[in-house]
């Protein structure tokens, strides 16, 4: 007698083009069968898909799950990245104490207090980007909101913080995209990462003789950091610092254009921080899962995870937990409701690797979205919605372009 085999979810799963703001149906189906299900990575190796809120929290905060990508059999979405990451791990893919040692070098730069001081500067960058976009697009547009607004704003901010010349954006933005492209050829990804590492290493060298008031200039003065560590930290901050927020600005705008009654809530300054939390929750742009590997046997959601097993923690399904986010008087968890109490979402991860840049991302999103809808009250799509192209193939979800008029 043969035993029926449980269905296996393939990672990454495809988004449904009819419902592009929801997690891929394969993940929601897996979530409906239980908090931990079997899955398969693109190279055919097995791993666990963790979809439940509590279980994702456990995976991300329990030291029995490692984020060290140098370990054999650590789960990777593309096999070609294995050697690449192992040769140059940045602290996002290291465990403590190495992770903590490197993270500590830059925590001060992203503290809430520091970011609050940056708000006037961010507001200026947002206003200037909108001035340029509206000047170029004419009195009523059109413009590509991704290229003309969503991408320049966080790119400029992280360039200023790190001490990276904004004139070099075309190259570093193109290389960042390639590094995050799951479908790109491994050799192309390797080349992109090496180019970025060399670029940051050269820039850091320059800062030794011509220091500025920026993170790289400070890192090069430290004797406890190797040039390789400085370059890989620089790449992590540069890539995570602009691609993520840019995709959130683009996706949030497209979603809000679908729901003008919700977008109107942004006119109330007191509603803006909560609105951004709801957008982070619903859109969860880190959509392919956060990889970890079990170091010991662990019982998780009624399933035994064996030492050495790979695990993908799905933030997107966890962030649609009905008990936590489906409060009475609010729309269902699959709908956008900017007045929802969404603060406990895990769009920024959880545990020791929880996003270092979250205060900055929050400030950028609050200022960018509120200013955009205030200054352009007639903002609308310039193409039929079905023509929007979403970046399913990227580690961080977003829109390729967002043609708008106003
Ligand atoms: C880590 C999401 C913006 C820097 C993470 C993680 C997530 C995340 C889910 C955890 C990954 C893991 O556990 O493996 C986001 C989202 C953003 C955003 C949704 C924007 C909306 C930023 C910005 C920066 C940044 C603006 C600025 C530099 C980092 C760094 C880490 C990280 C350095 C690694 C932290 C560690 O390993 O200790 N982010 N991020 N992120 N993020 Fe962000």
CB 153 near ligand 1, within 6 Å? no
Q: Is the ipTM of this complex over 0.90?
A: yes
State the Cα–Cα distance between residues 155 and 258, nearest whole angstrom.
26
- DSSP letters along 135-179, please? HHH-BTB-EEHIIIIITHHHHHHHHHHHT--GGGHHHHHHHHHHH
SS3 content of the chain, % helix, strand, coil (to 5): 55, 10, 35
Can you read off the two tokens belonging to residue 402? 């967002």
Can you read off the two tokens belonging to residue 379? 């903002």
C-alpha 218 to ligand 1 mean position (Å): 21
> What b/e readout covers 302-330, taking b as 16+ CB neighbours within 10 angstroms?
eeebeeebbbbbbbbbbbbbeebbeeeee
C-alpha 353 to ligand 1 mean position (Å): 8
CB 85 near ligand 1, within 6 Å? no
Contacts of 260 (CB under 8 A, 6+ apart): none
C-alpha 5 to ligand 1 mean position (Å): 37
Domain extent, residue 124, equals 9-405
Cα end-to-end distance, the chain, whole Å: 65
Task: Tell me, yes or no, whether 3 lies in a domain.
Answer: no
CB 236 near ligand 1, within 6 Å? yes
Length of the chain: 406
pLDDT digits (tens, 9 = 90+) for 179-213: 899 889 988 999 999 999 999 999 999 999 999 99
Task: Tell me, yes or no, whether 298 lies in a domain.
Answer: yes
149 closest CA partner among 239, 38, 75, 251: 251
Residue owning tokens 């995570």: 240
Q: How many beta carbons lie within 10 A of that of residue 21, not counting itself?
A: 19
Instruction: Using most ligand atoms within 8 A of CB, pick from 68, 216, 229, 244 the residue to mutate for ligand 1.
Output: 244
pLDDT tens sequence for the chain (406 residues): 444 455 688 999 999 988 999 999 999 999 999 999 999 999 899 999 999 999 999 999 999 999 999 999 999 988 878 888 888 889 999 999 999 999 999 999 999 999 999 999 999 999 999 999 999 988 899 999 999 999 999 999 999 999 999 999 999 999 999 989 988 998 899 999 999 999 999 999 999 999 999 999 999 999 999 999 999 999 999 999 999 999 999 999 999 999 999 999 999 999 999 999 999 999 999 999 999 999 999 999 999 999 999 999 999 999 999 999 998 899 999 999 999 999 999 999 999 999 999 999 999 999 999 999 999 999 999 999 999 999 988 999 999 999 999 9
Separation in Å, CA 250 to CA 257, 377, 381: 11, 17, 12
Task: Tell me, yes or no, whether 2 lies in a domain.
Answer: no
State the Cα–Cα distance between residues 123 and 127, nearest whole angstrom.
6
The sign of the dihedral angle between the CA atoms of 144, 340, 113, 102 is negative
C-alpha 245 to ligand 1 mean position (Å): 10
CB 349 near ligand 1, within 6 Å? yes
Residue owning tokens 């592009």: 20
Residue whose CA lies nearest to ligand 1 atom number 36 = 353
pLDDT digits (tens, 9 = 90+) for 230-246: 999 999 999 999 999 99
Number of domains comprising the chain: 1
HSE on the CB side for 344, CA within 13 Å? 14
C-alpha 15 to ligand 1 mean position (Å): 22
CATH number at residue 117: 1.10.630.10
CA 151 and chain centroid, separation: 13
CB 348 near ligand 1, within 6 Å? yes
DSSP conformation class of 304 = E
154 closest CA partner among 379, 370, 357: 357
CB 311 near ligand 1, within 6 Å? no
State the Cα–Cα distance between residues 321 and 318, nearest whole angstrom.
5
CB 395 near ligand 1, within 6 Å? no
Can you read off the two tokens belonging to residue 212? 């500025």
Task: Tell me, yes or no, whether 107 lies in a domain.
Answer: yes
Q: How many beta carbons lie within 10 A of that of residue 336, not counting itself?
A: 20
C-alpha 274 to ligand 1 mean position (Å): 19
State the Cα–Cα distance between residues 37 and 30, nearest whole angstrom.
7
What's the confidence (pLDDT) of residue 404?
98
Instruction: Using most ligand atoms within 8 A of CB, pick from 312, 357, 368 the residue to mutate for ligand 1.
Output: 357
Task: Tell me, yes or no, whether 4 lies in a domain.
Answer: no
Residue whose CA lies nearest to ligand 1 atom number 4 = 357
Q: How many beta carbons lie within 10 A of that of residue 260, not counting itself?
A: 12
What's the confidence (pLDDT) of residue 4?
46
């Amino acid at each position: 007698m043969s035993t029926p085999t449980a269905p296996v979810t393939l990672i990454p799963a495809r988004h449904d083009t009819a419902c592009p703001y929801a997690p891929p149906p394969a993940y929601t189906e897996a979530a409906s069968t239980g908090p931990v299900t079997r899955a398969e990575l693109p190279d055919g190796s097995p791993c666990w898909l963790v979809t439940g809120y509590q279980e994702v929290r456990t995976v991300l905060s329990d030291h029995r799950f490692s984020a060290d990508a140098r370990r054999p059999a650590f789960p990777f979405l593309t096999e070609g990245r294995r050697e690449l990451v192992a040769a140059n791990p940045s602290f996002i893919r290291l465990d403590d104490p190495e992770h903590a040692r490197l993270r500590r070098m830059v925590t001060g730069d992203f503290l809430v207090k520091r970011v609050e001081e940056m708000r006037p500067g961010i507001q200026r960058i947002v206003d200037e980007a909108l001035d340029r976009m509206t000047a170029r697009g004419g009195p009523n547009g059109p413009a590509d909101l991704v290229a003309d607004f969503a991408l320049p704003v966080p790119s400029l901010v992280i360039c200023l913080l790190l001490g990276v010349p904004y004139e070099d954006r075309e190259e570093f933005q193109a290389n960042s995209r390639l590094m995050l492209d799951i479908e790109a050829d491994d050799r192309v990804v390797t080349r992109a990462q090496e180019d970025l590492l060399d670029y940051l290493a050269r820039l850091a060298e320059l800062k030794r003789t011509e220091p500025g008031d920026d993170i790289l200039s400070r890192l090069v003065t430290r004797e406890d950091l190797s040039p390789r560590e400085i370059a890989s930290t620089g790449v992590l901050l540069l890539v995570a610092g602009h691609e993520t927020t840019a995709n959130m600005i683009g996706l949030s705008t497209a979603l809000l254009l679908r729901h003008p009654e919700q977008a109107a809530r942004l006119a109330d300054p007191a509603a803006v921080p909560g609105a951004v939390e709801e957008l982070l929750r619903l859109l969860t742009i880190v959509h392919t899962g956060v990889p970890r590997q079990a170091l010991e046997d662990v019982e998780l959601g009624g399933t035994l995870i064996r030492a050495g097993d790979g695990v993908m923690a799905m933030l997107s399904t966890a962030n649609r937990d009905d008990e936590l986010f489906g409060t009475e008087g609010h729309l269902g968890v699959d709908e956008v409701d900017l007045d929802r109490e969404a603060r406990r979402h895990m769009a920024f991860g959880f545990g020791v690797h929880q996003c270092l840049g979250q205060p900055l991302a929050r400030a950028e999103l609050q200022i960018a979205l509120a200013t955009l809808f205030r200054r352009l009250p007639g903002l609308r799509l310039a193409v039929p919605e079905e023509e929007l192209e979403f970046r399913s193939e990227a580690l961080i979800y977003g829109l390729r372009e967002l043609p708008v008029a106003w």
